[in-house]
Amino acid sequence: MRYDFGSDNTAGMAPAALQGLIAANEGYARAYGADDVTARAADQIRQRLDADAEVRFVFSGTAANSIALSMLAWPHEAVLAHHAAHICTDETGAPGFFGQGVGLVGLPGFSGKIELAALQAALDEPEVSHRQPAAALSLTQSTEYGTVYTEEELRHLIEPVKAKGYGVHMDGARLANAAAAGFDLTQIARLGVDILVFGGAKAGANCTEAIVMFDKSLARRIDNRLKQAGQTASKGRFLAGPFLGLLESKAWEDGGAHANLMAQRLAAGVSSNTSFALAHPVEANAVFVRMSPKAHQRLNDLGWACYRFDDGSVRFVCSWATREEVVDELLEAMRGL
């Protein structure tokens, strides 16, 4: 089985990330994230966001999202999110686990974007003692369906949430792809996002993500929280080193741009040279194709890993490592189905 398009998690570490890891391994350094590598990587993130923020590096996106949400909602409260968001479909109740009972309310919306009317309806729900009231909104950029929120779309979603005094979290596992698609990272804090997960693994790092707290009050005792959650690395520089390599070399941006370009190449080929149809707009690094179960199985039998998503379409994900000739090979296989 080939894993070229199974997920952007199936690609290895980008060379710049590996070099950053090797560089971090030189000599001795202070433990538990108090080292220069970690400080420099955090500065690189702050520069891109043009914001003063507390930054911590953790082992996984699931932990990053769940710990972030536990800062925004009490155990008797809930977080609003798109029903296909990773926190709702792929984290095995981790937000509730880390949040000691925090609930999730899934909202509808085309192609992974929350529908404004549905959000407003959820915000207008009367508070009763028998269900968890909303306390925060979680947004995914780029979305699980490979679309990218515009600044205006985000503002319309965030403003009514902030007007209620609720918190806002952004899952940026594929933030590099959103940035490559034209999303201005410097607007995240200005739009009112309280806490961001700045993606590393899908951008070419190892299994590392950054929790970025724009609201510094959230950082009170954050190191105690991370330690208790098993997310404090004794050799913290090995979480930050790959980030530093990607960011200082601009490979974080370049990899996202390349992945998006490969997705556009694949989407164009599907539309013009196969009998299949695209299921969603292709704005980042994911391509969703309407394909029968029989055709999907045949493609798997030919060795191409691809995943059937919850709307029934088949997902192909490009990464920093995707090559043009492999995209063309996949298209040739699809034409033969």
pLDDT digits (tens, 9 = 90+) for 273-310: 999 999 999 999 999 999 999 999 999 999 999 999 99
pLDDT at 307: 92
Residue 265 pLDDT class (50, 70, 90 cuts): very high
How far apart are alpha carbons 306 and 292 in whole angstroms?
13
pLDDT at 99: 95
pLDDT at 87: 97
How far apart are alpha carbons 75 and 332 in whole angstroms?
51
Q: Torsion over CA of 252, 256, 258 and 263, rounded to 10 degrees?
A: 160
* 210 neighbors 198 (Cβ within 8 angstroms): yes
* 266 neighbors 44 (Cβ within 8 angstroms): no
Residues forming a β-bridge with 55: 212
How far apart are alpha carbons 34 and 18 in whole angstroms?
21
- To the nearest whole percent, how much of the chain has pLDDT over 90? 100
pLDDT at 298: 97
Residue 142 pLDDT class (50, 70, 90 cuts): very high
The pairing of beta strand 134-140 with beta strand 78-82 = parallel
Q: Please provide the DSSP assignment of 67-102 as one string.
A: HHHHHHS-TT-EEEEETTSHHHHSSTTHHHHHTTS-
Instruction: Identify the H or E element spanning 228.
Output: helix 222-228
pLDDT at 285: 98
Instruction: Give the other-Cβ count within 10 Å of 146's Cβ.
Output: 28
pLDDT at 89: 96
- To the nearest whole percent, how much of the chain has pLDDT over 70? 100
pLDDT at 237: 98
| pLDDT tens per residue across span 21-60 | 999 999 999 999 999 999 999 999 999 999 999 999 999 9
Place of tokens 């918190």: 167
* Global confidence as pTM: 0.97
pLDDT at 315: 98
| pLDDT tens per residue across span 224-243 | 999 999 999 999 999 999 99
Q: What is the mean pLDDT of residues 105-123?
A: 98
pLDDT at 131: 94
Q: Please provide the DSSP assignment of 157-215 as one string.
A: HHHHHHHTT-EEEEEETTHHHHHHTT--TTHHHHHT--EEEE--GGGTSSS-EEEEESS
The pairing of beta strand 286-290 with beta strand 277-278 = antiparallel
